[in-house]
Structure formats: C-alpha cells, structure tokens
C-alpha cells in the first residue's frame, strides 16, 4: 500500500430508513480520530430518501454524500417516480453513481448512461461511473471489448475527467463473495487506465474485511465501491483500517 489517495464509497442500494443513520455515528468517530484521514475520502451513497438527512448528519465530518442514479434530463419534466441530478444536488448530494450493473440489467443502455453522466456533470455532481462484464462475457473472454464499449459510449463527448471516477465492478462479483484473481484484476484495471488516462479507477464487488488484504496488494486500485459490507459500520471501518495496515 503506497501513500496515495484512496476512495471508500458506500453503496447502500435500496436499504435504509431514517433510523439507519445512527450507524454512521461510529464511522464519524472513527474518521475523526484516524491518523491517515488526509489520504482518503469516504463517500456514502444512500437511497434518495436519505440524502438530505444524511448530509445534515454528516456536516462537518468530511464524509460526503452521493446519490445512486438519476433521470437523464437535468430540468423538470413529467417523469413520474424520477428525480434529476439537480434535485439530488439540491438536497446535499456531491457525487452520483451512474451505470451500476443493477440498473444496466434493468435496461439502462450505454447511451442513456452517457446522457445521465452529462446531466450530472452539468448539475455540478461528481460521477462514479460503473462498468463491468457479466459472467457470460468473462467466459467468452470478451471482457476488454465489453469494457471498451461501455467506456467509449458512456463517456462519449465528455472531457471532464477530474469529475469522473471509474468503478470497475465485474457483475459476477457483485454480492457473490467472489472477487477476481489478483493478477486478472491488476490487468483489467491497467487496461481501463490505458483506455482513459488520468482517471481514478476503483474496484467494486464483494469487498469485505476478509478479502481486503488481498485487494490492497493490487497497487493500481484507487479505492473501493462497497455494497453489502458498507451497511455494517464495523465491517466498513475494518476495510479502511486494514487497507492502511
């Protein structure tokens, strides 16, 4: 582990009610006293309903808040059930996850993702752009071409690379407890960094306190997008502590 800047992004998915915010107390306290605090960023992405109360709770803590998705249109419109990026910004989001595989599987295309990223950037949000291959694509050994297309179309006509972080999340790794072989992961992250120079690239998919030692030994990863384990403050803190041990 070198001394570089690392991201720890919590993706709460569709979990949590107001009471769940109590679990943050432990993380806030930990972060306040953590010696390496200057070298990492913690970002929580709760469901939209918790963005505002979470932002208020975390004020002054240096922990930031992000959203999980948005409509592609940045102005108001007749889209029942949707929220747009500027609405999310107005309640405290600083970041937004776009292109998560759970939404891709529900029909979100690369083109739509591109529009969403543009709208988020226009609204002043930083983007956590998710890419990743399915198990089928991995078996067919077409991971690189899948990622290449996701990157090419997803980031088409977008130059703003300081505001975008790429999260590589192999679909077969999300929620399964399985992570890629270290060698494969190093190569895939290198490939992404070659495709998009100067971008931060995170890894996501079953990151937990048990596999973090293996993951942290892969030295081209700029941080982690953490789903399941991020809902448990102890596990989330353990992941951070072990990364710096």
Could you write out the DSSP letters of every residue in 20-70?
GGGGHHHHHHHHHH-TTGGGEEEEEE--GGGHHHHHHHHTTTT-EEEES--
Of 64, 71, 100, 133, which residue is the catalytic one?
100
Q: Among residues 99, 204, 223, 233, which is the contact residue for ligand PGA, using CB under 6 A?
A: 204
Please identify, among the stretches 31-39, 56-64, 111-119, 198-206, the one whose residues bind ligand PGA according to the rule CB under 6 A: 198-206
Please give the residues from 93 up to 122 whose contact with ligand PGA meets the rule CB under 6 A.
none
Q: Does 226 bind ligand PGA (CB under 6 A)?
A: yes
The answer to whether residue 100 is catalytic is: yes
Identity of the residue, 74 or 146, whose beta carbon is nearer to ligand PGA in the bound complex: 146
Alpha-carbon distance 185 to 204, whole Å? 11
The answer to whether residue 52 is catalytic is: no
Q: Does 207 bind ligand PGA (CB under 6 A)?
A: yes
End-to-end alpha carbon distance in the chain: 8
Please identify, among the stretches 20-28, 108-116, 191-199, 227-235, the one whose residues bind ligand PGA according to the rule CB under 6 A: 227-235
Identity of the residue, 74 or 171, whose beta carbon is nearer to ligand PGA in the bound complex: 171
Identity of the residue, 27 or 86, whose beta carbon is nearer to ligand PGA in the bound complex: 27
Distance of CA 100 to the CA centre of its chain: 8
Interface pattern 162-191 for ligand PGA (x via CB under 6 A): -------x----xx----------------
Q: Does 239 bind ligand PGA (CB under 6 A)?
A: no
Identity of the residue, 31 or 168, whose beta carbon is nearer to ligand PGA in the bound complex: 168
Contacts of 233 (CB under 8 A, 6+ apart): 23, 24, 25, 26, 27
SS3 93: coil
Least distance to ligand PGA from the beta carbon of 128, Å?
Answer: 9
Least distance to ligand PGA from the beta carbon of 42, Å?
Answer: 15
SS3 6: strand
Least distance to ligand PGA from the beta carbon of 88, Å?
Answer: 18
* Beta carbons of 27 and 236 less than 8 angstroms apart: yes
Alpha-helix residue ranges (DSSP H) falling in the chain? 24-33, 51-58, 85-90, 101-105, 110-122, 135-139, 143-154, 182-195, 212-216, 233-244
Residue 170 tokens read as: 């192999």
Binding site residues, ligand PGA, CB under 6 A: 11, 169, 174-175, 204-207, 225-229
User: So which residues are the catalytic ones?
Assistant: 100, 169
């Amino acid at each position: 582990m070198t001394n570089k800047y690392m991201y720890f992004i919590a993706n709460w998915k569709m979990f949590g009610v107001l009471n769940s915010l109590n679990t943050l107390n432990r993380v806030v306290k930990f972060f306040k006293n953590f010696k390496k605090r200057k070298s990492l960023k913690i970002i929580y992405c709760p469901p939209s309903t918790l963005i505002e109360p979470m932002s208020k709770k975390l004020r002054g803590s240096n922990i930031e808040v992000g959203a999980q998705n948005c409509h592609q249109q940045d102005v108001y419109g007749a889209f029942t059930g949707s929220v747009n990026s500027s609405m999310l910004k107005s309640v405290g989001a600083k970041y937004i996850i776009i292109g998560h595989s759970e939404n891709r599987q529900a029909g979100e295309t690369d083109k739509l993702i591109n529009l969403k990223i543009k709208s988020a950037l226009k609204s002043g949000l930083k983007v956590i752009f998710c890419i990743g291959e399915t198990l089928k694509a991995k078996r067919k050994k077409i991971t690189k071409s899948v990622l290449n297309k996701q990157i090419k179309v997803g980031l088409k006509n977008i130059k703003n690379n300081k505001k975008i972080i790429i999260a590589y999340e192999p679909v077969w790794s999300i929620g399964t407890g399985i992570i890629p072989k270290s060698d494969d992961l190093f190569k895939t992250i290198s490939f992404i960094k070659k495709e998009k120079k100067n971008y931060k690239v995170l890894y996501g998919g079953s990151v937990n306190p048990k596999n973090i030692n293996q993951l942290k030994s892969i030295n081209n990863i700029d941080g982690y997008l953490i789903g399941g384990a991020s809902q448990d403050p102890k596990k989330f803190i353990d992941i951070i502590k072990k990364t710096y041990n």
